[in-house]
Amino acid sequence: MDQQKIDRLRAEKIAPQTHLINGRHVPASDGGTMDVTSPIDGARLTTMARGTAEDMQAATAAARAAFEDGRWADQPPSARKNVMLKWADLIEANALELAVLGVRDNGTEIGMALKAEPGSAAGSIRYYAEALDKVYGEIAPTGHDVMGLIHKEPVGVVGAIIPWNFPLMIGAWKLGPALAMGNSVVLKPAETASLTLLRLVELAHEAGLPDGVLNVVTGEGAVVGEAMGLSMDIDVLAFTGSGATGRRLLEYAARSNLKRVYLELGGKSPNIVFADAPNLDEAAKVTAMGIFRNSGQVCVAGSRLLVDASIQDDFTAAVVKAAEALRVGDPLVLDNHIGAVHSERQLAQNLQFIETGVAEGGSLLTGGTRLLEDTGGTYMAPTVISDVQPQATLAQREVFGPVLAVSSFSDEAEAIAIANATDYGLAGAVWTANLSRAQRMVRAVRTGVMHVNTYGGADGTVPLGGVGQSGNGHDKSLHALDKYINLKTAWIKL
Q: Which of 23, 10, 16, 53 is nearest to 194 (CA)?
A: 16
Tell me the C-alpha distance between 242 and 422, whole Å: 16
Cβ neighbour number for residue 275 with a 10 Å cutoff: 16
Inter-residue contact 228 to 157 (CB < 8 Å): no
Q: Please write down the HEC assignment for all residues of the chain.
A: CCHHHHHHHHHCCCCCECEEECCEEECCCCCCEEEEECCCCCCEEEEEECCCHHHHHHHHHHHHHHHHCCCCCCCCHHHHHHHHHHHHHHHHHCHHHHHHHHHHHHCCCHHHHHHHHHHHHHHHHHHHHHHHHHCCCEECCCCCCEEEEEEEEECCEEEEECCCCCHHHHHHHHHHHHHHCCCEEEEECECCECHHHHHHHHHHHHCCCCCCCEEECCCCHHHHHHHHHHCCCCCEEEEECCHHHHHHHHHHHHHCCCCEEEEECCCCCEEEECCCCCCHHHHHHHHHHHHHHHHHCCCCCCCEEEEEHHHHHHHHHHHHHHHHCCCECCCCCCCCCECCCCCHHHHHHHHHHHHHHHHCCCEEEECCCEECHHHCCCEECCEEEECCCCCCHHHHCCCCCCEEEEEEECCHHHHHHHHCCCCCCCCCEEECCCHHHHHHHHHHCCCCCCEECCCCCCCCCCCECCCHHHEECCECCHHHHHHHEEEEEEEEEC
Tell me the C-alpha distance between 386 and 390, whole Å: 11
Backbone angles phi, psi at 192, to 5 degrees: -100, 5
Q: Could you give the residue numbers annotated as active site?
A: 264
- Parallel, antiparallel or unpaired: strands 184-188 and 157-161: parallel
Cβ neighbour number for residue 142 with a 10 Å cutoff: 13
- The rounded Cα 100 to chain-centroid distance in angstroms is 18
